[in-house]
Structure 1
Amino acid sequence: MNFERIKEKLSILADAAKYDVSCSSSGSKRKNTNKGLGDSSGMGICHSYTQDGRCVSLLKILLTNHCIFDCAYCVTRKSNDIKRAAFKVQEVVDLTISFYRRNYIEGLFLSSGIFKDPDYTMERLIQVARKLREEENFNGYIHLKSIPGASDELMREAGLYADRLSVNIEVPTRSGLKLLAPDKKHEDFMKPMEKVKNEIIQFKQESRLIKSTPKYAPAGQSTQMIVGATGESDRDIMYSSAFFYKKYHMKRVYYSGYVPVSDDPRLPAIGTQVPMLRENRLYQTDWLMRFYGFDIRELLNDNFRNLDLEIDPKLSWALRNRHLFPVDINRVEKQLLLRVPGIGLKSVNKIIQARKFRKLNWDHLKKIGISLNRAKFFITCDSREKEIKDYSSENLKQIIIKNSTSKYRKEITPQLSLF
């Protein structure tokens, strides 16, 4: 093996993979039961976070950065003048095992540019996973990126070896995809998603009857959308996300701010970066939609097309729906309690349990851990110390922002003094 050449390939193809953020390993529990290598349920050290908060490390690379497509937003597009490289199947297998033995990683995230055609590329990705599972007896986490346009047969085989599959939708709307990636068809993205969804459903049904049914993509599937490459509003982006969660049972939708890689006139100018805060607000909206019972149309609609960057989306919604507040913390049902700014999922469950035994006051709520600087304007309590005042929504917004900023400064000042 030419180690210098392998090192060079690794440098090129690991760097090219950094634009893909959809490499979470949440949901997989592939246990090592046959004295093989690895265990995807073990503790990790860096890079990717699981659904229960663990941190795991993954070898994240492309099989190749050669590509037959010329997507304007992609650094590996065929017209881009960059250094190209490609791993052999066995090289990826050897790297994964070598890195695992040295405790550098706990799994593999493998994507690829498309060379020759989708099926040829997908076959090579599957070969890597098959060799790891069958020849190396590797039980660690494997995430394979599905290639748009790959056949149903290959998608079924991929799910038998991978813990998670994902196909990046890339651009949130059909019109945006047609503008920036005219070689690609929207249907080519949907077909693999539909196949994976159906296979997962079939596995769950069959496993109820036959326990030995081979697992199929136990960590489900995910996708990623590029934010800011075209003129889509936050409403367009999150409506697409809601569609994918409902239609294809996605585990996660990831949002990646567009990084300027070209001076193509169809794209934002070089030097214009999508604010990190916009990504953050999209993830917060995603969280409210999945775990707090919000319909996406409540958060974003024709009258409110973009998220407020100054405040989080739950507070923004509450300020637009002042008629629902304040609520009595000791009586309000769980569904509305979840919508109170400053009260998270864990705090809601603590409040519901605690109020079975006594009426809660402000001191109790403070000990529970809610953010009183926001919540106090939307709730009433046993104590009358902090009754809500008749502020306008805009004035209330500015008061909360000021209080939040002051609290941050008080917390950070003692730390700064140490330096």
Structure 2
Amino acid sequence: MDYERIKEKLSILADAAKYDVSCSSSGSKRKNTTNGLGDSSGMGICHSYTEDGRCVSLLKILLTNHCIFDCAYCVTRKSNEVKRAAFKVQEVVDLTIHFYRRNYIEGLFLSSGIFKDADYTMERLIQVAKKLRLEENFNGYIHLKSIPGGSDELMREAGLYADRLSVNIEIPTKSGLKLLAPDKKHEDFMKPMEKVKNEIIQYKQESRLIKSTPKYAPAGQSTQMIIGASGESDRDIMYSANFFYKKYNMKRVYYSGYVPVAEDPRLPALNSQVPLLRENRLYQTDWLLRFYGFDIRELLNEQHLNLDLEVDPKLSWALRNRHLFPVNINRVEKQLLLRIPGIGLKSVNKILQARKFRKLNWEHLKNIGIAMNRAKHFITCDSREFEVKEPSSEYLKNVILKTSSGKFRKEIGTQLSLF
């Protein structure tokens, strides 16, 4: 093996893979029952954190950065002057095993540029996963980026060896995709998503009757959108995300801020890179839709096309709906309790349990861990210490921003340091 050449390939193709975003808990439960290598049970991906707080990592690379397409926003576009490289299938298998044995990784995240055509590229991605599972007896986490336009047969085979599959939608709207990636068709993204969804449904139905049914993509499927490359509003982005969650049973939709990688008149100017804070607000909105019972139309609509960058989307909603507040923390139902700014999912469950035994006051709420600087303006309880009637939502927003400014700057600074 030419170690210097492998090292060079790894440098090129790991750097090119950094634009693929997938930093979350995997949700896969692939047990190691055959004395093989690895175990993805409870593990996450991309230097993420599992439910029990462990930080996990994986080898994240492209199979190749050669590509037949010329998408304006992509660093591997065929017209871009970058150094090209490609791994052989066995090289990726060997790298994964060597890295795992040295305790560097707990899984593999494999994507690729498209060379020759979609099926040819997809076949090679599947060969990597298949060799790892069948020849190396590898039970660690595998995430394959599916290739838009890949055949149904290949999508089915991929799910038998990968824990998670994903097809990146890339641009949130059809018009944006047509402008920036005219070689690609919207239906080429939808078809593999539909196939994966149907295969997962079929697997779940068959596994209830036959326990030995082969697993199919046990961690589900995800997708990713590039934010800010084609001028969509936050409403356009989140309406698209909401569609994918409902239509294709997505586990996650990821939002990747546009990073200028090439000069192109169709793209925003280099000085207009999407602020990290906008990404953060989109993820917060995504969380509210999936776990807090919000409807997308409550957060973004004709009157509110973009999210407020100054405050989080839950607080923004509450300031627009002050007629619903304040609520008594000891009597309010769970649905509205989830909508109080400064109170998260864990705190909601603690409050519901605690108030079975006694009426809660401000001291109890502080001990539970809610963000009092926000929550106190929207609730009453078995105390009267913080009951203040602000004259307007704008005034209240400024009060909260003033009391949160130090924490806010620290929070944003921490996020920026991650990048």
TM-score, normalisation: structure 1: 0.96
In structure 2, the partner of 1:217 is 217
CA distance 1:154–1:353, change in 2 (3 Å): same
Verify the 8 A CA contact 1:347 1:370 in the aligned structure 2. yes
SS at match of 2:271: coil
Cα 1:399–1:353 change in 2 (3 A) is same
| Residues 408-419 of structure 1 mapped to structure 2, 5 A cutoff | none
Runs of 4+ in 1 over 6 A off after TM superposition: 42-46, 408-411
* Matched position secondary structure for 1:271: helix
Q: Which residue of 1 aligns with 2:415?
A: none
Judge which range, 267-276 or 370-379, deviates more.
267-276
Any conservation in 2 of the 1:26–1:52 contact (CA below 8 Å)? no
Task: Tell me by how many angstroms 1:25 deviates.
Answer: 4.6
> Is the CA contact (8 Å cut-off) linking 2:328 and 2:379 kept in structure 1?
yes
Alpha carbons 2:28, 2:42 under 8 Å: kept = no
- Residue 360 of structure 1 and its aligned partner are, at CA, apart by 0.7
Residue 58 in structure 1 maps to residue 58 in structure 2: yes
Paired amino acid for 1:213: T
Point out the more displaced range, 121-130 or 26-35: 26-35
Tell me the CA shift for residue 245 of structure 1. Answer: 0.3
> 1:379–1:388: 8 Å Cα contact kept in structure 2?
no
- Matched residues in 2 for 1:406 and 1:19: separation? 31
Matched, 1:107 2:114: no
The secondary structure found in structure 1 opposite 2:270 is coil
Q: What does residue 192 of structure 1 align with?
A: 192
Equivalent residue number for residue 402 of structure 2: 402
**Closer, same or farther in 2 for the Cα pair 1:17/1:130, shift >3 Å?**
same
Secondary structure at the aligned position of 1:65 is classed as: coil
- 1:273 matched residue in structure 2: 273
- 2:302 aligned residue: 302
Distance 1:138 1:201 in 2: 25
More moved, 381-390 vs 26-35: 381-390
In the TM superposition, what is the alpha-carbon distance from 1:51 to its structure 2 partner? 5.6
Letter in 2 for 1:275: P
In the alignment, the residues of structure 1 paired with residue 329 and residue 357 of structure 2 have an alpha-carbon distance, to the nearest angstrom, of 14
State the Cα deviation string for residues 125-178 of structure 1 (Å, max 9, x = none): 000000000000000000000000000000000000000000000000000000
User: What does residue 285 of structure 2 align with?
Assistant: 285
Structure 1 Cα separation of the partners of residues 223 and 356 of structure 2: 42
Aligned to 1:414: none
Q: Does 1:172 align with 2:172?
A: yes
| Shift of residue 384, structure 1, vs aligned partner | 1.5
- Whether 2:335 is the aligned partner of 1:327: answer no
The CA deviation at 1:386 is 1.6
- The amino acid of 1:218's aligned partner reads P
- % same residue: 87
Pairing 1:311–2:327 present: no
List alignment gaps of at least 5 residues for structure 1.
412-419
| Cα RMSD after superposing both structures | 1.7
CA distance in 1, matches of 2:171, 2:279: 15
Does the 8 Å contact 1:326/1:388 carry over to 2? Answer: no
**Residue 53 of structure 1, CA deviation:** 4.5
What residue number does 2:338 align with?
338
**CA shift digits 1:156-204 (9 cap, x unpaired):** 0000000000000000000000000000000000000000000000000
Contact 1:327-1:380 at 8 Å conserved across structures:
yes
Equivalent position of 1:124 in the other structure = 124
Q: By how many angstroms is 1:409 displaced?
A: 8.3
Is the 8 Å Cα contact of residues 27 and 51 (structure 1) preserved in structure 2? no
Q: Which residue of 2 aligns with 1:241?
A: 241
Aligned length: 412
Q: Is contact 1:281–1:309 with CA below 8 Å preserved after alignment?
A: yes
User: Normalising to structure 2: TM-score of the pair?
Assistant: 0.96
Pairs within 5 Å for 1:371-410: 371-406=371-406
Greater Cα offset, 350-359 or 267-276:
267-276
Shift of 1:391: 2.4
* Map of 2:414 onto structure 1: none
- Kindly provide the amino acid, as one letter, of the partner of residue 115 in structure 2: F
Tell me, what secondary structure is at the counterpart of 1:128?
helix
Change in Cα spacing, 1:45 to 1:340, as seen in structure 2 (3 Å) is: closer
Whether the 8 Å CA contact 2:66–2:115 is kept in 1: the answer is yes
Structure 1 letter corresponding to 2:277: L
Retained in 1: the 8 A contact 2:25–2:43? Answer: no
CA distance in 1, matches of 2:246, 2:295: 12
SS at match of 1:98: helix
Q: Which amino acid aligns with 2:105?
A: I
How much does 1:23 deviate? 5.0
Per-residue deviation at 1:52?
5.6
